[in-house]
Amino acid sequence: MTSIVHLYRAEVSRANLWRSRLDTTTNWAVVTSGAALTFTFGSADNPHFVLLLVLFLILTFLLIEARRYSYYALWYHRVRLLETGYLAALLTPPHEPPVDWAASLSQTLLKPEFVTPRWRSVAVRYRRNYIWLVSLTLASWLLKLSIHPFPAESTSVMVQRASIGLLIEGQWVIVGAALIYLLLFGLILAAQFIPDTREGRPGDYHVPKETAVLRPEDEMVMIITNRREAVSSRVMEKLERGVTAVSGTGMYTGRPRDILFCALTSAQEEALREAVAAADPNAFVIFTGARDVRGRGFAPTEAPM
């Protein structure tokens, strides 16, 4: 118990440290952007490509922050292992850690691996913070081209102004900036639609990709309801658990009924009761133990900010 307490405190401290480092990198990008805007628009003679240099500097900060986020997600993963597998288990019958919990935690200590791929970390940090800085920088650059040294009369004038000396013509500079913006936006879409290669969420146990075995204290619940859309949506939203629906018939009334199946941990039992009651107070709910449930696991979840 003493060792676990010290380990938990150490992992929480480490997670908090790397969380603060994320803010530090974002602050660098914000301060750099503000200084560049002040300089660029301070005089009509100041060159426009300063904003492009700042754009590349912001992207450098993004890469640094993505690396820090990968470390933060790893420490957060360990904290969730300790919270869900040990602390929560002590408060939930049968008041014992799951049999595979110690092995999972030991594996992360002996062979630590990032739980979030680097490209996904870039997408996460760009979506949460840097998309606004990049958009502001590019919009300010276009504004600079349109008003300095005098208001542009046509788009062709702006394209001509976008040239960088005699090296790069304006149209290629604009095309390059547009490609960078579209590439980053595509990275966000890829992170949303491409499944994570690591099965489970931060705090879940590592299992083979082919099978995700629930722990002995997990449960299977059957929900008999007339409002399957409302109930299933609420369960998936509040508990982040998958729901399967099958059609049935009430033998007493002869009326059709929907039966929803959902696997969850015993610690989530009360939350499921509240979710079902809010969506359908008349639903009939049956809880049963899940000795050995196999499947693809659950959807990945980002570490909270």
pLDDT in tens, 174-184: 999 999 999 99
- Give yes or no for residue 203 having a pLDDT over 60: no
Given a cut of 80, is residue 290 above it in pLDDT? no
Q: Which residue has the higher pLDDT, 126 or 97?
A: 126
Confidence class for position 103, pLDDT limits 50, 70, 90 = confident
Predicted local distance difference test score (pLDDT) of residue 217: 54
Is residue 259 predicted with pLDDT exceeding 70? yes
Residue 64 has what pLDDT?
95
What confidence score (pLDDT) does residue 209 get?
A: 34
Instruction: Convert 101-115 to b/e letters by CB count within 10 Å (16 or more is b).
Output: beebbeebeeeeebb
Whether the per-residue pLDDT at 213 is higher than 60: the answer is no
Average pLDDT, the chain: 83
Omega within 30 of 0 (cis) for the link into 112: no
Instruction: List the domains of the chain with CATH numbers.
Output: 2-193 (no CATH), 219-289 (3.30.70.120)
170 touches 159 (CB < 8 A) = yes
pLDDT of amino acid 291 = 62
**Residue labelled with tokens 């960078």:** 180
Which pLDDT band holds residue 302 (cuts at 50, 70, 90)?
low
Q: Give the C-alpha distances (Å, rounded to integers) separating 202 from 53, 72, 231, 272, 298.
A: 37, 11, 26, 21, 11
Q: Given this model, what pLDDT does residue 197 score?
A: 53
The tokens for 232 are 């299933």
The CB-side HSE value for 141 (13 A sphere, CA atoms) comes to 24
Please say if the pLDDT value at position 226 is more than 70. Answer: yes
**Confidence band, pLDDT 50/70/90 cuts, at residue 84:** confident
- Per-residue pLDDT, 187: 92
